[in-house]
Amino acid sequence: MGAITTGLNVQAIREDFPILKTLVHNKPLVYFDNAASTQKPKIVLDTEYHYYSSQYANIHRGVHYLSQIGTELYEKTRHIVKDFIGANSEREIIFTKGTTNSINLLAYSWSSAFLKPGDEILITGMEHHSNIVPWQLACQRHGATLKVVPLQEDGSINIDEVKNMISEKTRLFSFTYVSNALGTINPVKEMTAIAHQAGAHVLIDAAQAIQHIAINVQELNCDFLAFSGHKIYGPTGTGILYGKEALLDAMPPFEGGGDMIKDVKFEQTSFNELPFKFEAGTPNIAGTIALGTAIEYVEKIGLDNIFAYEEELLKYGTEQLQQINGLTIYGNSIHKSSVLSFLLDGAHPYDVGVILDHLGIAIRTGHHCTQPIMDYFCIPGTCRASIAFYNTKEEIDLLVTGIQRASKMLL
Amino acid sequence: MSINEIQDSIIEDFSMYEDWADKYEFIIELGKELPAMNELYKIEENLIKGCQSRVWLHAHEEEGVLKFQADSDAIITKGIIGLLIKVFSGHTAQEIANTDIYFLKEIGLQEHLSPTRANGLVSMVKQIKNYAIAFNLKS
């Protein structure tokens, strides 16, 4: 077994994640369910604890000491996120509950401003349900049509097909950066340019990219980008919607309530400026503050280092899994990130998942909220092992031994 | 044997397995041995959609008792189905409706009857009870 050649001190990183010392069914936890959610470093937990135990009050407009501290910390995360993804200003960073919430916000507000009967929205065949269903609903509301760039056998899409399907009717091209079920990395910059040439707006679902790949929204030139805090080592219930300021300005609010208003009269209400126009009600203050800590933690390690290390693990994992008799890997694009989706011939993914669980190995089984992908491959679902930078080659070896054991028991 | 006597005998059968793997190998064996469900009954209306494994359940009445046939595409689920059929099939609707299932907990497989497992087994047990209640009302 070759040593990892990249410069991450994984043993030190593992020390930062208390849960990795947990025993599951009396065996050391091997956590390969990172595409569903990532574990939290102690520094993120400490931030939340410290905020609740010594800094807590509701934020925005409070004149008292604690409220001001909380507001500063909360807004600091906006600044961190702005720098992290290379946005122009904090006004372009909307706090949401997660990627799904970000996309639904757009499906309501963007569609109200820009979608007309006869228009088209384009997505790809590898989207998560949360980048399908909100657009189906929006198309129903506005008399528009949803079109889908088909998937190819290797789990990628054909860029010529994108060019064919984009037309002057296309108002929005919404696609994932990285497929959660197959790991495919899409050529997002090229896809964005093609959409812009046709006059369409672009939303990138970065839920599976933000923790693996360095992103700069101005370099990509996307109009919108969405991601979740919990997939980048931050708390659940936090998320980001990035949008170009001019477009966000042109969109009506999503939810009404406190914080998003300038002036409320029974006759008419005027709305707060960006980003607050889209942030009604008391938000997840502690979670958002801790998300800032999580992003700083990731930045300290460096996404380029993370990408290089995870790529090496993925390559090793792919080679090892390919040696298992009767195992098929789904998603074989040349450009892939962190996901090993597979099936054992003659074994249902549920059964494989149950046996691996008893060996302390956490993977995800099922359709991964991407039923159209499973339909494309005519399978009920897959077993998915997904990698984070705290995983090791030794854990991949345990996974391989576990799959072999499952194979022996089941077949 | 009454439903509870069958449950108790299953608990006794399982008491010899200390290791989880032996237990699961036995369950998998039961799954493989479960008589194939009549293809006529493997229809949409008999399908209980779990999130992950699919379960089909068919019930009919024969000489005053209820008989069940079931199947699943996942073998561990199918093995547990085999146990549930052994427990419930061939009893009166009244006994089925009035008896609680406790053997899965006793043999350490309760987790498979958790709604979060999404394997269709919770719905299957519920459906068996519903059939029993419906047959009770009919008679």
pLDDT of residue A219: 98
Q: Alpha-carbon torsion A98, A99, A101, A102, what sign? A: positive
% of chain A residues with pLDDT over 70 = 99
Note whether residue A118 is domain-resident: yes
* Candidate from A95-99, A267-271, A406-410 with smallest mean pLDDT: A267-271
Which residue is closest to B112 within chain A, CA to CA? A354
pLDDT at A156: 98
**Residue B6: phi, psi to the nearest 5?**
-65, -45
Q: Is A139 a catalytic residue?
A: no
Residues A51 and A141 placed together within one structural domain of the fold: yes
Candidate from A80-89, A385-394, B70-79, B120-129 with smallest mean pLDDT: B120-129
Q: Which residues of A touch B80 (CB under 8 A)?
A: none
Of the two residues A284 and B134, the one the predictor is more confident about is: A284
DSSP string, A228-251: ESGGGTS-TT-EEEEE-HHHHHHS
Residues of A with CB under 8 A from a CB of B: 25, 347-351, 354-355, 358, 365-366, 380-381, 409-410
> Is residue A2 over pLDDT 70?
no
Query: Which pLDDT band, with edges at 50, 70 and 90, does A6 fall under?
Result: low
Q: Which of B18, B20, B30, B110 to mutate to test the interface with A (most CBs of A within 10 A)?
A: B20
- Domain extent, residue A364, equals 10-31+302-410
Range A167-186 average pLDDT: 98
Residue ranges of domains in chain B: 3-138
Q: What is the rounded distance in angstroms from the CA atom of residue A123 to the CA atom of residue A135?
A: 9
Question: Which of A300, A320, A352 lies at the terminal end of a domain, its last residue?
Answer: A300
Q: Are residues A214 and A315 in the same domain?
A: no
Helix (H, G, I), strand (E, B) or coil at A273: coil
Residues A296 and A333 in one domain: no
Q: Write the pLDDT tens digit of every residue in A311-365.
A: 999 999 999 999 999 999 999 999 999 999 999 999 999 999 999 999 999 999 9
Mutate to test the interface with A, among B53, B71, B109 (most CBs of A within 10 A): B53
Q: Please list, in sequence order, all residues whose beta carbon lies within 8 angstroms of the beta carbon of residue A12, skipping any fewer than 6 positions away.
A: none
Residue B9 is inside which H or E element, if any? helix B3-15
pLDDT tier, B122 (very low <50, low <70, confident <90, very high otherwise): confident
**Quick one: which H or E segment has residue A100?**
helix A99-114
CA distance linking residue A373 with residue A405, whole number of Å: 28
CB A81 within 8 A of CB A295: yes
> What value does the mean pLDDT of chain B take?
89
pLDDT score for B50: 64
Q: Which range, of A33-47, B87-101, B109-123, averages the lowest pLDDT? A: B109-123
pLDDT tier at A1, thresholds 50, 70, 90: very low
pLDDT in tens, A286-299: 999 999 999 999 99
CA distances for A6 relative to A395, B104, B135, angstroms: 17, 48, 67
CATH classification at residue A330: 3.90.1150.10
Q: Is residue A147 part of a domain?
A: yes
- Residue A402's pLDDT band (cuts 50, 70, 90): very high
Average pLDDT for chain A: 96
Do A216 and A250 share a structural domain?
yes
A126 and A231 in a single domain? The answer is yes
A5 belongs to a structural domain:
no
Domain assignment present for residue A322? The answer is yes
The catalytic position among B2, B51, B64, B134 is: B51
Please report which helix (H) or strand (E) contains residue B16, including its range.
none
Q: Which of A365, A380, A409 sits opposite B28 (nearest CB)?
A: A409
| Distance to chain A for B12, nearest Cα, Å | 23
Question: Chain A contact for B20, CB < 8 A?
Answer: yes
d(CA A350, CA A344): 11
The total number of structural domains in chain A stands at: 2
User: What is the predicted ipTM?
Assistant: 0.90
Shortest Cα–Cα distance, A37 to chain B (Å): 17
Residues A392 and A276 in one domain: no
Same-domain status, A138 and A149: yes
Q: What is the pLDDT of residue B110?
A: 80
Are A92 and A199 contained in the same domain? Answer: yes
Q: What is the CATH number of domain B3-138?
A: 3.90.1010.10
Low-confidence winner among A57-66, A169-178, A202-211, B1-10 (lowest mean pLDDT): A57-66
**Peptide bond connecting A18 to the previous residue in cis, omega within 30 degrees of 0:** no
> Which candidate, A314, A369, A322, places its Cα nearest to that of A340?
A314
Task: Report whether pLDDT(A151) > 80.
Answer: yes
Contact A34, A386 (CB under 8 A): yes
Domain boundary pick from A233, A266, A300: A300
Question: Are residues A277 and A220 located together in one domain of the fold?
Answer: yes
Report the pLDDT value the prediction gives residue B125, as an integer from 0 to 100: 87
Domain assignment present for residue A58? The answer is yes
Q: What distance in Å separates residue A383's CA from the closest CA in chain B?
A: 11
- In this structure, is residue A385 part of a structural domain? yes
Residue at token pair 């064996």: B29
The reply to whether A131 and A245 lie within a common domain is yes
pLDDT in tens, B11-31: 999 999 989 999 999 999 999
pLDDT digits (tens, 9 = 90+) for B45-54: 988 876 678 8
Are A69 and A26 within one domain?
Answer: no
Confidence of residue A10 (pLDDT cuts 50, 70, 90): very high
Nearest chain A CA: its distance from B75 CA (Å): 7
Domain boundary among A245, A278, A300: A300
CATH number of the domain at A117, please.
3.40.640.10
